[in-house]
Structure 1
Amino acid sequence: MATFIDEILADIDWRVSELATLKSIPIRYSFRPEHKELQIKYTIPAIYAIWEGFVKSCFVIYSNHLNSLSISRFEIAIPLLTHQLDSECDFNNPRTGFESKQRMVSLIDTLLTDIVTIKPSVPTESNVNFKVLNKILERFCIDKVPDHYDTKLNKLLLFRNKVAHGDNSISVNMTHVTEFISTVENLMLDVAINIEHNEKNGSYKK
């Protein structure tokens, strides 16, 4: 029977295959130089899409696994419980009226059942950069990824945002494609390793 980590690794395998295909296209096919340049440029948003898709998929799988454990409200880790309540109640929403505050309290009351069910979603905040990734990991009581990913991941986000928003001020070549693919592949594996390690240590409990 496949475990949750097997599901995450299978997802990574598929994404690595997609990344390999993206990397091989400019080499495998005979494009006119300007067409090759265009293809390489728009590979960057595709690399980022694969990365963000992994983060979402990974934590859906992990949330489903945690839900299968039937964790009680009295043993669940506070960051994880806070994540669940925030996902349902949207704590960033300023509730100035007393009626809206009552509705939130009523919702919290219904959510605080004996067994906590984690909503399978994560706040990606439009861009899963280094800071956002570590905030997501913190919500799920998972060790943060090493600091050396800060510059690497944020560089991918810089290139992706400029290309995706039609900014033609940045030049993209195959060296960048190779660099970003390597960053994403290594990050996916490190996130998976941290999740497996923390789950085995029961970090989801107080």
Structure 2
Amino acid sequence: MRTLAELQDSLDDDLAWRRSELHSYLSATRRAGSESPAQRALCRAGVPLLYAHWEGYAKHCLSLYLQYVGRRRLKYGELHPAFVALGHESSLDSQEGLSATRRIVRRAHALLSGDNVRASIPWRRGVDTQSNLNSSRCFDLFESLGLDASPLSTKARLIDYSLLRARNEIAHGQYLDIDSASYEELHLEVLAILDFVRNTVSAAAENGLYRRPSAV
């Protein structure tokens, strides 16, 4: 993931197959017959699928962006503070046996003297969604990469309840009655969220928002 074109192609390709699958599934729910038992079963089963694409695409996009920034091979003095923090914390994590005090001192030393050091961004492992991407974890991941997730604040309840909690309950065998109208609305909401994630990452890469403002 060395060029902006490669990043954007990967964002688009991954979103395309997800959109295709979700639209195909929605068509299947419509063909099942209005409010029939089969349709309700499909709508209920579709919620874990919608959640899977939400978590999967967010992880894909944010991991790609982390990789893209990490492979710029910039110095700490050129990077947004979020990536400075990521790099230094990763370096400290690799030093075994550090007491809390020694960790604080080494962190301070690195921050004060490291501007001309090439950053060590831990991009190979990607981001960790913890397999339960609630709104709080989403906002933390965005902030850790210097991205603005505030437009998603109005979607927090939808992410936490309509997607994550419903996914968990359905996956554990609980019955939730989800009609076709509710499912179609959730389908549209998820696609809008996926578009937001894609556009946020693409714009950040294109506009160099991973750089410290004075270094742009």
Q: TM-score, normalised to structure 2's length?
A: 0.75
Q: Who is 2:110 aligned against?
A: none
Q: Distance in 1 between matches of 2:142 and 2:53?
A: 18
Q: Who is 1:82 aligned against?
A: 85
The answer to whether residue 134 in structure 2 is matched with residue 129 in structure 1 is: yes
Q: Who is 2:182 aligned against?
A: 176
Q: Distance in 2 between matches of 1:62 and 1:82?
A: 16
Q: Who is 1:95 aligned against?
A: none
Q: Shift of the alpha carbon at 1:84? A: 4.3
Instruction: Label 1:84 to 1:35 Cα distance change in 2 as closer, same or farther (>3 A).
Output: farther
**Corresponding residue SS for 2:97:** helix
Q: What is the aligned-residue identity percentage? A: 23
The answer to whether residue 58 in structure 2 is matched with residue 52 in structure 1 is: no
Instruction: Label 1:89 to 1:49 Cα distance change in 2 as closer, same or farther (>3 A).
Output: farther
Instruction: Label 1:47 to 1:84 Cα distance change in 2 as closer, same or farther (>3 A).
Output: farther
1:75-97 deviation line (CA, Å, top 9, x unaligned): 22221232345567669xxxxxx
CA contact (8 A) 1:145 1:191 kept: no
Q: Who is 2:209 aligned against?
A: 203
Instruction: Label 1:30 to 1:89 Cα distance change in 2 as closer, same or farther (>3 A).
Output: farther
Q: Who is 1:100 aligned against?
A: 97
Q: Shift of the alpha carbon at 1:10? A: 1.9
Q: Shift of the alpha carbon at 1:43? A: 1.1
Aligned length: 193
Q: Distance in 1 between matches of 2:197 and 2:37?
A: 37
Q: TM-score, normalised to structure 1's length?
A: 0.78
Q: Distance in 1 between matches of 2:91 and 2:28?
A: 42
**Corresponding residue SS for 1:204:** coil
Q: Who is 1:21 aligned against?
A: 24
| Structure 2 unaligned regions, length at least 5 | 108-113
Q: Distance in 2 between matches of 1:142 and 1:132?
A: 13
Matched to 2:133, the amino acid is V
